[in-house]
Amino acid sequence: MLLKRHLIAFLLIPSLLFGSLPCTTEAKVITETERLQLLLQIKDLLNILARLQEQAKIQEEIREVKKTPYQSVYYNFPHQNIYFVTNNQLENSDGSKILFTTHKELFDLFTKVVGRAEVNKYVYEWRIFNNKNSDLGAYVELMSTTNNGPRNWVVGVNTEGYDSENQNSFINLFIHEYGHIVLYDLKTFEQNYKKKFLDCCRRS
């Protein structure tokens, strides 16, 4: 729509420019200076149009890029909902605007526990499942392991037993899961773990 408005303006401006010249009953011969000025103005308008077309193309490409949920390796079971996390906001992976209250409450609680900056830094997907027969209260799964790129994580939560009036058990659960992320992200963690493990084995 914005591009259409600019195109209409582009088509109208030359007529306005020529129409702004003094009108007499006799045909007016424009000077060479006026002609060059008009050509420069038209050239500028063409440059503006080219930039608008490029911007429209970029916006269209952005709209065409559709996120797809990560294919879990360890927790590949049905989930009630999968959300993408962008700037501390949940976006339903199916493209709908539906955001269930409980899912949002749990995400807000997790954000309150670990902090907005940490959520932005680590969490890429927020997954919800409900299984009263499972001992799994929540999980985290690393999506990328590159040293230079962002370390994106999936956070999954079992809503079974959640009570908005008593969130203590889920606060403890989120602290535990966040601990996995923080420890794994420490560059020296694996080295220190192996050293301590081997030391314990030698002593035993």
Question: For the segment 51-104, what is each residue's pLDDT rounded down to a tens digit?
Answer: 888 877 766 655 546 789 999 999 999 999 999 999 999 999 998 888 999 999
**What is the per-residue pLDDT for 150?**
59
**What is the per-residue pLDDT for 20?**
47
The Cα 14–Cα 41 span in angstroms is: 9
Strands of the chain, DSSP E: 81-86, 89-92, 123-129, 138-142, 153-158
The Cα 166–Cα 154 span in angstroms is: 25
**What is the per-residue pLDDT for 170?**
96
SS3 call for 68: coil
The Cα 88–Cα 117 span in angstroms is: 9
The Cα 3–Cα 18 span in angstroms is: 24
Q: How confident is the model at residue 21 (pLDDT cuts 50, 70, 90)?
A: very low
User: Residues in the chain, how many?
Assistant: 204
**What is the per-residue pLDDT for 132?**
93
- Please report where in the chains the tokens 């030698």 appear, as a residue: 202
DSSP 81: E
Specify the range with the lowest mean pLDDT, choosing from 8-17, 22-31, 46-55, 83-92.
Answer: 8-17
